[in-house]
Amino acid sequence: MAKLDLMLFEEEDTLLQEIIGRLSKDASAKVVFLVDKNGQQIAAAGDVKSIDATSLASLTAGNVAATDGLAKLIGEKEFSLLFHEGEKDNLHISIVGKRGILVVIFDQNSSLALVRLRVKKASKELQEIFDQVEQRAQKESDLGSRFESPFSEITDEDIDRLFGD
């Protein structure tokens, strides 16, 4: 499990973006992010430029991981929902399947009830795509990759170039 990389192809990426975009609109949210549990941003919709998305992804993953640890300490499998209420903006964080985290930022133009309702529907759809991605990755790791990886020919020079040598 720990060894399987998360690989996202064009088709899946488009589907995820669509779902997130729809959720953002339906929930009257300011921004919606889909993040993976290791802190990488997968998709985003809404007024994305207003927020440092990379830090948000990493801190959300840290927050979820810490809450996960707390849940296990008291004998729960997980807390599937976190809600932070601010003066103006609120943060709704929920777990999607085994590896996804959905973050919805909303203000007084929406409500917690509406966000919860829309998130529930979107989570189901996202879960299906995550399942497909995982099944494909599992199949490929069992059978050997069906496509030529672009990284099969990384050279020392490629790596030196990254560091400006």
Partner 1 sequence: MTFINYASREINCKIVYYGPGLCGKTTNIQWIFEQANPEKRGKLVSLATETDRTLFFDFLPLDMGTVKGFKVRFHLYTVPGQVFYDASRKLILRGCDGIIFVADSQRARMEANIESIANLATNLKENGFDIRSIPYVLQLNKRDMPSAASIPEMERLLRFRNEPMIEAVANKGTGVIETLKAAARQVLMELQRN
Q: Give the interface with partner 1 as residue ranges (CB under 8 A).
A: 1-10, 12-14, 36-40, 42, 52, 54-55, 58-59, 62, 65-66, 68-69, 149-154, 156, 158-159, 161-163
Strand pairing partners for 103? 33, 93
Say which amino acid occupies 36.
D
Cα(31)–Cα(25) distance, rounded to whole angstroms?
9
Nearer residue to partner 1 within complex by CB, 16 or 115: 16
Counted residue by residue, the chain has a size of 165
Whichever of 76 and 107 has its CB closer to partner 1, that residue is: 76
151 token code pair: 């990284």
- d(CA 9, CA 133) in angstroms, rounded, equals 9
- For partner 1, the closer of residues 98 and 120 by Cβ is 98
Task: Work out the number of other CB atoms within 10 angstroms of the CB of residue 90.
Answer: 20
Between 26 and 140, name the residue whose CB sits nearer to partner 1.
Answer: 140
Say which amino acid occupies 23: L
- Closest approach, Cβ 98 to partner 1, in A, equals 12
We find the least distance from the C-beta atom of residue 123 to partner 1, in angstroms, to be 20
Q: How far is the CB of 111 from partner 1 (least distance, A)?
A: 30
